[in-house]
Amino acid sequence: MPPLIEDHALVGDLHTAALIHLRGSVTWQAFPAFDSPAAFASLVGTPEHGSWDLCPTAPDARVRRRYLPGTLVLETTWTTHDGQARVLDFMPTRAPGSGNPQLIRVIQGVHGDVPMSSRMLIRFSYGKITPRLVRHPHQFGGDRYAALAGPDSLYLDASTPLSAHADGSIEAAFRVRAEEQQVFALSWQPSHLPAPPRPDPAAALASTLSFWSDWSARSTYTGPYQEAVHRSLIVLKALTYAPTGGMVAAPTTSLPEEIGGVRNWDYRYTWLRDAAIALGVLALSGYLEEAAAWRDWLARAVAGDPATVQIMYSIKGDRDLPESTLPHLPGYEGSWPVRVGNGAAHQPQLDVFGEVLDAFHLAEEAGLAPCDDAFALQSALLTQVEARWHLPDAGIWEGRGPVRHFVHSKVMGWVAADRMVRRIESGRATGPVEEWRQLRDAIHADVCAQGYDPVRNTFTQSYGSTALDASLLLIPLVGFLPPDDKRVIGTIEAIQRELSTGDDGLILRYRTTGDEIGADGLAGDEGAFLACSFWLVEALTIIGRTAEASVLFEKLLALANDVGLLAEEYDCLARRQLGNFPQAFSHFALVAAALRLASEEKTAARDEALGLDTAA
């Protein structure tokens, strides 16, 4: 049976990441960076496209796992008839741009005598290239094998003997007893360099635990659901590329939005929208350093000409992300094509300007020091809004259909103008405030006139359309209209009626049309979009339906896997996660919803203490 998406856990080093299945197999890892070609790609292929299995030999071994508290160190405990063993999986953290990525797996005996096995099959270039294996004995008192192909090399060090086989696999069979341990360490480096030094697993584990514990301790979040919020914050940090401050949307490519379908995309890039919202959430949770790093990344990516700003870039700031397919990979559960690159990079999407300027606003409200260069960049971005807001665009969801006048895009154009006006009114900057007020008012009037259906009392997906879109839930959240406006309440209730998956209460982005080509230019359906469902939590909270919001929030938390991770979507019929994993969008939406609920809880407690009638 193919591995479920949600059966995976994430480990990473702020440069790249690995996905490890519940049964001990590394099914995805790219070296040396998130967007590099994968050397383990069985997740979107077969085990012969690269994988690393490490588990007891007993087929009925029971397993449970967790992250060590406040860290990204994965602990998997195996129990067999012979005893119990524990595996610690982690990638050592390192200074940005220094050293090379390593994946270390430490097997510790707890009690009894547990037979274990390891089988590694390295296939560079997304499972296409078989490396040459070279043995180097006497590392850790065990073995070292080097796998070499083209520009890449991987060195496997083990404290137990290794053997290579004709199929290119490297295997080990060993036993672990109480208070004993075995270690495997996999290190990447460019193939033209000399062999890397022997890893020090104990020191690497200690420094990695210290890094994550110290980082987690900086969180200022003290509201409800702390475990889920703190895990989501760690995920967002783990998806950040330390050398530049860019954040990937997810560490994977082509995990499908519909099993067997074509909605499979490469998410290993930095979307301005996603990263801006995520960094706003991090700033509100006490992580101003990350917000400052992303501000610097944005300035470099946009460079000297904001007129050419893109919706996404590589983690290093590259603009060209040509999309292609990998015909040698069958895809996750036959979901093909498997794509690398992303053709949406050059789409016109007006909303990104609003998300970026709102993120700057939130970060400065949270304490990030203003910066003259950043304000100049923001002013230039608003100039682009002024030039483009009346034009159709591709919208937030990056469909492959025709451009339209999407309501959400226009609303976020309003947000861009509003945040700049508020910045000047606060005295933090000077600028043409009256001109920007007029821009803000013009966009607002246009949306209310052309994007609202008075018969149904709801805003619509685009001008002249009757379709709904879950992004309309953001209208009250960004302050476009007050929460008690009848149009806001009508829109929320219409989305609940028309985009809900049923009794679950989860929300679709918009309605799709099955096998026919839909308005988004694609055939096929998809699952409930988790971020949209978290937006509904916020929307219900802001209009005073807090009890209903809390029930939905707890339903959403229950969809996370055993270590608190969420993909992009959820299939309510098959009861499984869908899409790239773990997904930054889902996790920052979770944190934002928790912040909203926590704020409402504090307000209710204050009103109760003051003897106010909160039901009035």
> If DSSP codes are grouped into helix, strand and coil, which group holds residue 558?
coil
Among the listed ranges 30-34, 139-143, 385-389, which one has the minimum average pLDDT value? 139-143
Query: What separation, in Å, do the N-terminal and C-terminal C-alpha atoms of the chain show?
Result: 55
d(CA 386, CA 407): 16
Rounded Cα distance between 244 and 566, Å, is 25
**Residue 483 CB partners (closer than 8 Å, separation 6+):** 476, 542, 543, 544
| High-pLDDT (> 70) share of the chain, % | 95
Identify the three-state secondary structure at position 130: coil
Three-class HEC string of 371-439: CHHHHHHHHHHHHHHHHHCCCCECCCCCCCCCCECEHHHHHHHHHHHHHHHHHHHCCCCCCCHHHHHHH
Task: For residue 616, name the pLDDT band (cuts at 50, 70, 90).
Answer: very low
The pLDDT value recorded for residue 517 is: 61
What is the predicted pLDDT for the residue at 372?
78
Note whether 282 and 232 are within 8 A (CB): no
Report whether the peptide linkage leading into residue 337 is cis, meaning its omega lies within 30 degrees of zero.
yes
Residue 313 neighbours by CB under 8 Å, 6+ apart = 246, 269, 270, 272, 301, 319, 321, 345
Q: Which residues pair with 154 in a beta bridge?
A: 147, 188
Mean pLDDT is lowest, of 90-99, 150-159, 489-498, for: 90-99
Which CATH fold would you assign to the domain 218-609?
Answer: Glycosyltransferase (1.50.10)
CATH 1.50.10.10: which residues of the chain? 218-609
CATH topology (fold) of 5-213: Beta-galactosidase; Chain A, domain 5 (2.70.98)
Q: Measure the CA dihedral 515/519/521/525, to 10°.
A: -40
Evaluate whether 506 touches 533 at the Cβ level (below 8 Å): yes
CA distance 258 to 509: 14
**Residue pair 350/410 in contact by the 8 Å Cβ criterion:** yes
Residue 604: what pLDDT?
Answer: 67
pLDDT (tens digit, 9 = 90+) per residue, 548-594? 999 999 999 999 999 999 999 999 999 999 999 999 999 999 999 99
> Tell me, what DSSP letter sits at residue 324?
E
- Tell me how far apart the alpha carbons of residues 604 and 592 are, in angstroms, rounded to a whole number: 18
For the stretch 64-99, pLDDT in tens is 999 999 999 999 999 999 999 999 999 999 988 788
Q: Which amino acid is at 157?
A: D
Per-residue pLDDT band at 493 (split at 50, 70, 90): very high
Contact 298, 272 (CB under 8 A): yes
Mean pLDDT along residues 419-433: 93
Minimum mean pLDDT among 137-151, 208-222, 273-287: which range? Answer: 137-151
Residues of the chain with CATH 2.70.98: 5-213
Q: Say what the pLDDT of residue 140 is.
A: 57
How high does pLDDT run on average in the chain?
Answer: 93
Q: Which sign, positive or negative, has the C-alpha torsion 228, 230, 234, 240?
A: positive
* CB-CB contact of 553 with 597 (8 Å): yes
More confident residue, 417 or 365: 417
Of residues 503 and 212, more confidently modeled = 212
Supply the DSSP string of 323-367, one letter for each residue: -EE-TT---BTTB---EES-GGGG---THHHHHHHHHHHHHHHTT
pLDDT(612) > 60: no
Structure confidence by residue, pLDDT tens digits, 440-476: 999 999 999 999 999 999 999 999 999 999 999 999 9
pTM of the model: 0.95
Question: Cis ω on the peptide bond leading into residue 582 (within 30° of 0)?
Answer: yes
* Percent of the chain residues past pLDDT 90, beyond the cut: 81
SS3 13: coil
3-state class percentages of the chain: helix first, strand second, coil last, to nearest 5: 35, 25, 40
Half-sphere exposure of 27 (CA within 13 A, CB side): 28
pLDDT at 364: 87
DSSP secondary structure letter of residue 71: S
Q: Is the pLDDT of residue 606 over 60?
A: no
pLDDT at 615 over 60: no
DSSP state of 514: T
What pLDDT is recorded for position 608? 61
The side-by-side arrangement of strands in the sheet containing 569-571 is 528-529, 569-571, 576-578
pLDDT at 614: 46
Where helices occur in 307-349 by DSSP H, the ranges are: none
Question: Residue 108: helix, strand or coil by DSSP?
Answer: strand
Which residues pair with residue 325 across a beta bridge? 339
Measure the CA angle with vertex 312, ends 254 and 345; round to 5°: 70
Q: Report the distance separating Cα 544 and Cα 547, nearest Å.
A: 9
Query: Looking at the predicted structure, is the pLDDT value of residue 299 above 90?
Result: no
User: Do residues 322 and 40 lie in contact, with contact meaning Cβ atoms separated by under 8 Å?
Assistant: no
Residue 326 has pLDDT above 90, yes or no: yes
